């Protein structure tokens, strides 16, 4: 039996895509083998890789002025790849720290250059997004790094910081494809796939061509981490995470079929609004995030009583609503309601919360 899986990542995938993967597992399109078994340089996989890249380009309206590459190592490897690829000309970058992953990115970058903490919301346990203007950044910084959605703390940017023209780099691991964006607002976007796109293993990098092609990487940037290497070889410099790219391609096709990012964003907004609305009217559950900065993807909530929180997680699991335990840094509960979480899953969760509230009032 399938459960409703609220895991923060790896997370739920569209059932339709999983069924398709299952049906193609033994014999992909008459090849007589599964995608996991075939050469990454053969005809079958070449088509999949090209289709995945085009699919993402179509969904996010990415033009010819950007490279789209598929790499390994997770978003965490990009915490290092970003400074390694960008700090060769001017060794300065500014970071906005709005959560644990943002903090890790800031810390890794510190190994490679003059990295400044432009702003942080840590003093308030990352419950809000600092509102920043151009004067908060060094105007000679090479780039400003942000984390668009904070997976653990449940906040997101509703408006991008005004950097005064400095290049913006964003970790979009937990909200890519959940809302329409203008890629031109960013110099670089990166995202691990395991939240909104595919099984863990592939990471997406969308980077402005002029930056990548006019190499501004640090001289000791490892070949494998250099975006130019992967761009030149169309993500096939070495063996790519074939299976994850294949599933990503299917997810992109699925998203297109249901109306693209615009339709997905509407559904995501509806799901989040339903859940926050119930929590705000509940006497038992609370969400401590600044209302205007609340994430549409990750919804943390608490009862204020540790035993009751544990009871909730246990009983929810027995009711088929799994992985609701909050991150250890926050405690309580967290419902990750990514793209692939059906509206019905959120309805079931709310019904369960209502019942739990009545029984434990
Ligand atoms: C999950 C996550 C990461 C870490 O991703 P890995 O692929 O495990 O390295 C980084 N940033 C954000 C915003 C995330 O949600």
Ranges of residues in the chain whose predicted pLDDT is under 50: none
Residue 119: in which H helix or E strand, if any?
A: strand 114-120
Task: Say whether pTM exceeds 0.75.
Answer: yes
Q: Which atom of ligand 1 is nearest to the CA of 74?
A: 7
Collect contacts of 44-53 with beta carbons under 8 A, ≥24 apart.
45/242, 45/246, 48/242, 48/245, 48/246, 48/249, 49/234, 49/235, 49/236, 49/240, 49/245, 50/234, 51/249, 51/253, 52/245, 52/246, 52/248, 52/249, 52/252, 53/234, 53/235
- Minimal-distance CA residue to ligand 1 atom 5: 75
Residue nearest atom 13 of ligand 1, based on CA coordinates:
173
CB atoms closer than 10 angstroms to residue 91: 15
Residue to mutate, 150, 192, 196, ligand 1, most ligand atoms under 8 Å from C-beta: 192
358 CA from centroid of ligand 1 (Å): 36
CB atoms under 10 Å from CB of 214, counted, come to 10
**CA–centroid distance, residue 68 to ligand 1 (Å):** 19
292-328 tens-digit pLDDT: 999 999 999 999 999 999 999 999 999 999 999 999 9
Pocket of ligand 1 (CB under 6 A): 9, 74-76, 101, 147, 151, 171, 173-174, 192, 195
Cα of 268 vs centre of ligand 1, distance in Å, is 20
The answer to whether the CB of 190 falls within 8 A of the CB of 148 is no
Quote the ligand 1 centre to 81 CA distance (angstroms): 14
- According to the model, what pLDDT value does residue 361 have? 82
108 Cβ contact partners less than 8 Å away, ≥ 6 residues apart = 79, 80, 83
Q: What is the number of the ligand 1 atom nearest to the C-alpha of 174?
A: 15
**Interval between CA 75 and ligand 1 midpoint (Å):** 5
Look at residues 194, 223, 78 and name the one whose alpha carbon lies nearest to residue 143: 78
User: For 35-67, how does the pLDDT look when each residue is reduced to its tens digit (9 = 90+)?
Assistant: 999 999 999 999 999 999 999 999 999 999 999
Q: Are 236 and 41 in contact (CB under 8 A)?
A: yes
Tokens representing residue 263 in the block: 């339709």
Ligand 1 centroid distance, CA of 37 (Å): 28
């Amino acid at each position: 039996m399938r459960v409703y899986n609220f895991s923060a990542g790896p997370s739920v995938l569209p059932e339709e895509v999983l069924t398709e993967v299952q049906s193609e597992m033994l014999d992909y399109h008459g090849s007589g083998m599964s995608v996991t078994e075939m050469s990454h340089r053969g005809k079958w996989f070449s088509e999949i890789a090209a289709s995945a890249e085009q699919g993402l380009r179509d969904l996010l309206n990415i033009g010819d002025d950007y490279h789209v590459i598929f790499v390994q190592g997770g978003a965490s490897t990009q915490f290092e790849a970003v400074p390694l690829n960008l700090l060769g000309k001017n060794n300065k970058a500014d970071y906005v720290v709005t959560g644990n992953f943002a903090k890790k990115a800031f810390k890794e970058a510190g190994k490679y250059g003059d990295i400044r903490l432009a702003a942080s919301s840590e003093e308030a346990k990352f419950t809000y997004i600092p509102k920043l203007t151009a004067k908060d950044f060094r105007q000679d910084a090479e780039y400003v790094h942000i984390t668009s959605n904070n997976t653990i703390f449940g906040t997101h940017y509703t408006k991008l910081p005004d950097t005064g023209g400095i290049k913006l780099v964003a970790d979009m691991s937990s909200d890519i494809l959940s809302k329409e964006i203008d890629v031109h607002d960013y110099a670089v976007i990166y995202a691990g796939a395991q939240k909104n796109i595919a099984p863990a293993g592939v990471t997406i990098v969308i980077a402005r061509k002029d930056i990548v092609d006019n190499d501004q990487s640090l001289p000791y940037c490892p070949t494998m981490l250099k975006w130019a290497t992967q761009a030149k070889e169309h993500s096939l410099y070495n063996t790519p995470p074939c299976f994850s790219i294949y599933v990503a391609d299917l997810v992109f096709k699925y998203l297109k079929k249901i109306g693209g990012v615009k339709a997905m964003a509407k559904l995501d907004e509806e799901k989040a609004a339903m859940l926050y609305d119930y929590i705000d009217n509940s006497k038992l559950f609370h969400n401590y995030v600044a209302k205007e900065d609340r994430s549409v993807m990750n919804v943390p909530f608490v009862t204020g009583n540790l035993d009751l929180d544990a009871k909730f997680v246990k009983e929810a699991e027995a009711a088929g609503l799994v992985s609701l335990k909050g991150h250890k840094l926050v405690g309580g509960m967290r419902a990750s309601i990514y793209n692939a979480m059906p509206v019905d899953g959120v309805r079931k969760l709310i019904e369960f919360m209502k019942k739990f509230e009545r029984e434990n009032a």
